[in-house]
Amino acid sequence: MIHELRIYEIHDATREVFLRRFTEHAAPIMRRHGFTLVATWEAGSAGAREFVYLLAWPDAATMESAWAGFLADPEWVETKRRSRETHGPIVGRIEDRVLVPVGPAPMQQET
């Protein structure tokens, strides 16, 4: 199993628009294409607001195929077009990191 960490710079003025688009449109379409959304967070660094999410994949081939399907999905293409037309760009830079496990399994904390 691999994980994918996605980090999106979001703007204060369009934060709610972005979050609504992700929750109401992107996430359901992603699920339809086989994405496993593990968690979402908001973070900040160097004066920027970020939206961060983690995906789980069985392997890189599945990840690549699912992304290709999602990006070509007519509902996603139209949703993204409409939001850009109405609100302009709502996302700044995007970072994408594929996390491949190495070494032994993580240690569990003693309680």
Decide if 51 is inside a domain. yes
Q: What was the pLDDT predicted at 37?
A: 98
Distance, CA of 53 to CA of 41 (rounded, Å):
6
Q: What was the pLDDT predicted at 15?
A: 93
By residue range, what is the domain housing residue 8? 2-98
DSSP reduced 3-state for 5: strand
Q: What was the pLDDT predicted at 111?
A: 60
Decide if 104 is inside a domain. no
Decide if 47 is inside a domain. yes
- Averaged pLDDT, groups of 10, the chain, 111 residues long: 96 94 98 98 85 97 98 98 95 95 74 60
The total of structural domains in the chain comes to 1
The CATH number assigned to the domain holding 9 equals: 3.30.70.100
Decide if 68 is inside a domain. yes
Decide if 106 is inside a domain. no
Decide if 70 is inside a domain. yes
pTM strictly above 0.85: yes
Which alpha helices (H) appear in the chain, and where do they start and end?
A: 15-21, 27-32, 60-72, 74-87
